[in-house]
Amino acid sequence: MAPTKQTKNGRKVKQPNNKRQRRIPKGLGLDRAATEYVRLLTDPCNAPLVHPTYTGGDSGYLVRCDKVFIVGRGSGITAGLIQWTPGDINDDATEFLSAAGSDFSSGFPAVPFADASPGRNFLSSNASAYRCVAACAKFTYPGSESGRAGWVHYGHGNGRSIILGSNYAASGVGRLCNNYSRTPVDTVEVVWRPDFADQQMVDPTATRQQRAGTGSILFAFGGFPPDAGIVVSMTAVYEWVPRGESDGPANPIADKNESSNTLDQVFAAIRRAGFNWVRDSAHLVGSGLTTGMVAGLANTFGMMPSVSRARSQRNLTY
């Protein structure tokens, strides 16, 4: 309490308190730089590009990359699986693994997908080092509504959940996922969560040594009509440093982020705000959130309300 003094007319007035008052953070309880990163981490498709609240003094340029694939389309194929580890672009192309076959419970070898993951070619040709800042994957059933059948599993793993060349059944990978539904009418979106090793700058043309410490997105499906497959839309934001032979950009020297918050504090704030890393119709119903409450969370993050339609499917749930 500020001290008081008696004036000539007998009134008491408060003396100014010269002690420095501690600033109480508002909203998410994060500083501005961390709050901006929350927007990008939870909305990789639309949010402004900002640097992450990663440890260390590394710095780089920011680039957003996206790509659309059809996985598991082929004669007699009714089941399959996908692992995407956006922070593990490397010399053996294991950041995007897939397997597919005619039976949900039979094992098939996990191999690199035939097409390059978003950003792979750019980073391999131009970057001496890189790291993933934010990412998401959206899964859409491309078949007709009358022929829709089967089920899907989706969630998060690590860079060693699926290993190149080993045999995996979609049923086994499905057990690693904490989300399950019949083949959805709407798009399912899984937002990537960085792990401790994702904070390190690494060479995109070399083999990463800490794959178990990188975050991945997992998806498995079964019982699909033959030759239907699944449409996968991937978006990733990368921070990268140029190679010596790159044409134009010099090494950035600015500090990566002036935030005093850590990645753990960012995750804690996201959990407190009720954000869900998976967006589907089941989570929207199960969350018990009304339209107004969901829009309120979106305003807290500074993102678009989830009840609006956007390229990143914000209409599903927060």
- State the average pLDDT over residues 239-250: 79
- pLDDT the model gives residue 253: 64
What is the band of 91 on the pLDDT scale with cuts at 50, 70, 90? Answer: confident
pLDDT tens, residue by residue, 125-165:
999 999 999 999 999 999 888 889 999 999 999 999 999 98
What is the band of 258 on the pLDDT scale with cuts at 50, 70, 90? Answer: confident
pTM of structure = 0.80
- State the average pLDDT over residues 36-51: 95
Across the chain, the runs of DSSP E, i.e. the strands, are 4-6, 12-14, 61-71, 79-84, 96-101, 108-109, 111-112, 127-140, 151-158, 167-168, 179-182, 188-191, 215-222, 230-242, 278-279
- State the average pLDDT over residues 56-78: 90
Q: What is the DSSP letter of 106?
A: S
What is the band of 114 on the pLDDT scale with cuts at 50, 70, 90? Answer: confident
pLDDT reading at 311 higher than 60: no
- pLDDT the model gives residue 27: 60
- State the average pLDDT over residues 72-85: 91
- pLDDT the model gives residue 290: 32
Least confident range from 29-38, 185-194, 253-262, 296-305: namely 296-305
Query: Which of the two residues, 249 and 184, has the higher pLDDT score?
Result: 184
Least confident range from 21-30, 102-111, 251-260: namely 21-30
- State the average pLDDT over residues 240-260: 75
What is the band of 70 on the pLDDT scale with cuts at 50, 70, 90? Answer: very high
pLDDT reading at 229 higher than 70: yes
- In Å, the largest CA–CA distance within the chain is 97
CB within 8 Å of 111: residues ≥ 6 apart: 97, 98, 99, 164, 165
| Rg, Å, the chain Cα set | 23
Mean pLDDT of all residues belonging to the chain: 81
Distance of CA 86 to the CA centre of its chain: 9
- pLDDT the model gives residue 254: 64
pLDDT reading at 21 higher than 50: no
| Domain assignments of the chain as residue spans, ordered by start | 26-53+259-318, 64-237
pLDDT reading at 293 higher than 60: no
Least confident range from 126-135, 193-202, 299-308: namely 299-308
Highest CATH level, class, for 64-237? mainly beta
pLDDT reading at 86 higher than 60: yes
- Range list of H helices, 107-233: 120-126, 170-176
Whether 112 contacts 71, CB under 8 Å: no
Angle made by CA atoms 151, 155, 157, in degrees to the nearest 5: 130
- pLDDT the model gives residue 202: 92
Count how many Cα atoms sit within 13 Å of the Cα of residue 312 in the half-sphere of its side chain.
24
Separation in Å, CA 42 to CA 51, 107, 229, 237, 274:
14, 34, 27, 12, 12
